Amino acid sequence: MTANPTTRRRAVRAAALAGLLAAAGAGTAYAYWGTAGTGTGSAAAATMQAVTVDALVAGDSPKAALVPGGTADVVLRLTNPNPYAVQVYSVTANGAATADAAHPGCTTTGVSFVGSAAPLSPATFVPANSSTLLTLPGSAAMDTTSLAACQGATFRLPVTAEVRK
């Protein structure tokens, strides 16, 4: 029995198409598993910008006045210029306390900064691109060696704040 010429053409086309698809699939599989590549990459960590610390900025006020033999609160304004929040980990003294220029006779201040335990508790965060006030209760101390010329003085307490991302 001889096949119809139309049926025979269809069978040949189907066989050719099947062979073509099988060959294409094998080529794709080979290309997928036989591919190799090389390249390089790099990354850099950004540098944290310095967080600034100002004590007793206009408008801020301590809750207690400093007197010989006593302590008072220290109020700090921390400004974070970074695009992410930072945690204030610790605040420590960074030099001797000095009196304001209106009290030149206050050469022995008797004033010191009483550092805080690290990490600060409760944890204090400064939001990205903003500032916050931090009150450290009882962190300024004045001993009894303070001169009478120091009455009414405002003291500069140099501190260092350690911040972490």
CATH number at 109 reads 2.60.40
Residues 26 and 97 in one domain: no
Global pTM reads: 0.66
Longest dimension (CA), the chain: 130
**Residue count (the chain):** 165
Q: Is residue 47 in some structural domain?
A: no
Residues 91 and 25 in one domain: no
Number of domains within the chain? 2
Residues 78 and 109 in one domain: yes
Residues 118 and 82 in one domain: yes
Phi-psi region of 17 (alpha: psi -120 to 50; beta: other; left: phi over 0): alpha
Q: Is residue 141 in some structural domain?
A: yes
**Per-residue confidence in pLDDT tens, the chain, 165 aa:** 556 666 666 766 666 555 555 555 555 455 445 455 555 555 556 687 888 887 765 566 666 688 999 998 888 999 999 999 999 999 999 999 999 999 999 999 999 998 777 888 888 999 999 999 998 888 999 999 999 999 999 888 899 889 998
Residue 25, φ and ψ in degrees, nearest 5: -65, -40
Residues 57 and 24 in one domain: no
Residues 71 and 128 in one domain: yes
Residue span of the structural domain in which 155 resides? 52-164
Provide the pLDDT for residue 119: 85
Q: Is residue 136 in some structural domain?
A: yes
